[in-house]
Structure 1
Amino acid sequence: MFKYVAAGVLASTLIVTTSGQDEKGEKTSDNGNLLQAVTQGNVAEAGAESTTSYQKEIAKVWLTGLPDYQNKNVPNGFEINVRDVSGQPVNPANPDSSAKYPQGTKALNGSANAAGHVVYKDNGDGTISIFDAPMHFSGPDWEKADYNKTETQKIIDNPQVTTVYNGDAATVSLYAQYVK
């Protein structure tokens, strides 16, 4: 009995929370498919249905920039944090002499530094430009204005342009649920 009550509560909760639009105005789920997944007892599929297209796109970028995650188990407590870094200095420790990120640039950080990070700009054509910015600008050279200006400009001028990961849908859905 509890199983059916829980499934009903979950179905109604998911329908309420997943109907509508994401921050880009895109439809976030198909309630018919969601209800069918829950009533058939496939709660994992229902959870995957509740992720937004925005979360899935962020997960694809994460998997593109850090391809080792395509074959990894998700660490405990893992999150992907998204931050708009448009116009911000590449080297925040020396902002006055640092190049600035172009408009539309986002930084994805794992919940622990060891999880990695991806700094990218969507090119609008199925590709992204990944900026090879270090997570930490350590060493005395980064404190020198000329060195900092030259090296941060190289980071901006020489991104890796790559096609966004479009592989295993289950992996994308798995990582999408960790996008915060």
Structure 2
Amino acid sequence: MKKRTKIFYCHAALLLVFMTAGCTGGNDEEPSHSSSPAGESSGIKKAETASAAEKKEPVNKDSHHVSADKSEPDNMSADYSPLQIEYARIWLQLGENQQIDELNVRRIPAGALVNPDDHTSARYPEDVTQLAGSRLIDGSVTYSSNGDGTIQVYNVPLRWESREDTDQGVMKEVTEEMIRHTKKVSVDTGDNEKIRRLIDIMSIH
């Protein structure tokens, strides 16, 4: 009986040792599980940083593109009005004398006399613009804009010579003929430096 009791206690002691070792082994495995979330967290942070860097990149490209556009040296439309550019281009293309010291711009409304010195003169059917230098020898250009890059040029002198012996109605016929026979011209873009020079000496009345 005593032998059986000793054997039982020995078995119980061995079983207790195995159970204790099993619990200790389970506790040792826990740190390996807890390290996994830390690794995942580090990977997420790296992914978020890379994503933020990718989002910032297009913004930098756009801002560089805008600043490059603003620094273009020959951007005429940013420096001058469309009308100023139009006047300069037309004189550069059609003006008789390019070595002028002043470019005068005179706007003439529809209904105005073609020859302002003669009340029998025909009248302009539309608004026109007259470009001229400061001297008669500089010549002049009288035109109306079609709004599509072309103009109608009127063959009208800058200054009219009136004669007392002119027959009644002759001036009306002459000016009506001028109105009927305008010339359509396509306006060239011209040279930017020459256009800038003409705008600098331009005087709009």
Which amino acid in structure 1 is aligned with residue 83 of structure 2? Y
In structure 1, distance between residues paired with 2:144 and 2:157: 16
Residue 129 of structure 1 aligns to a residue whose secondary structure is strand
TM-aligned CA deviation for residue 173 of structure 1 = 2.0
In structure 1, distance between residues paired with 2:97 and 2:116: 27
| Cα pair 1:81 1:111 within 8 Å, conserved | no
Which residues in structure 2 correspond to 1:140-179 (within 5 Å)? 140=163, 143-179=166-202
Aligned residue in 2 for 1:63: 92
| Cα pair 2:97 2:139 within 8 Å, conserved | no
Describe the shift of the 1:65–1:143 C-alpha distance in structure 2 as closer, same or farther (beyond 3 A): farther
The farther-off stretch of 86-95 and 102-111 is 102-111
TM-score by length of 2: 0.56
Aligned residue in 1 for 2:128: 105
Residue 56 of structure 1 aligns to a residue whose secondary structure is helix
| RMSD (CA atoms) | 2.9
- State yes or no: 1:128 paired with 2:128: no
Q: Which runs of 5+ in 1 are unaligned?
A: 1-30, 38-44
Report percent identity of matched pairs.
24
In structure 1, distance between residues paired with 2:135 and 2:122: 26
Aligned residue in 2 for 1:15: none
Residue 92 of structure 2 aligns to a residue whose secondary structure is helix
Which amino acid in structure 2 is aligned with residue 102 of structure 1? P
TM-score by length of 1: 0.63
1:35-93 deviation per Cα after TM superposition (whole angstroms, max 9, x unaligned)? x86xxxxxxx7999633222111111222322652xxxx444x2322322422111111
1:116-165 deviation per Cα after TM superposition (whole angstroms, max 9, x unaligned)? 21110001221101100112222538843311011100100001111112
Q: Give the paired residue count.
A: 135
| Cα pair 1:83 1:107 within 8 Å, conserved | yes
Describe the shift of the 1:103–1:48 C-alpha distance in structure 2 as closer, same or farther (beyond 3 A): closer
Q: Whose radius of gyration is greater, 1 or 2?
A: 2
In structure 2, distance between residues paired with 1:64 and 1:46: 20
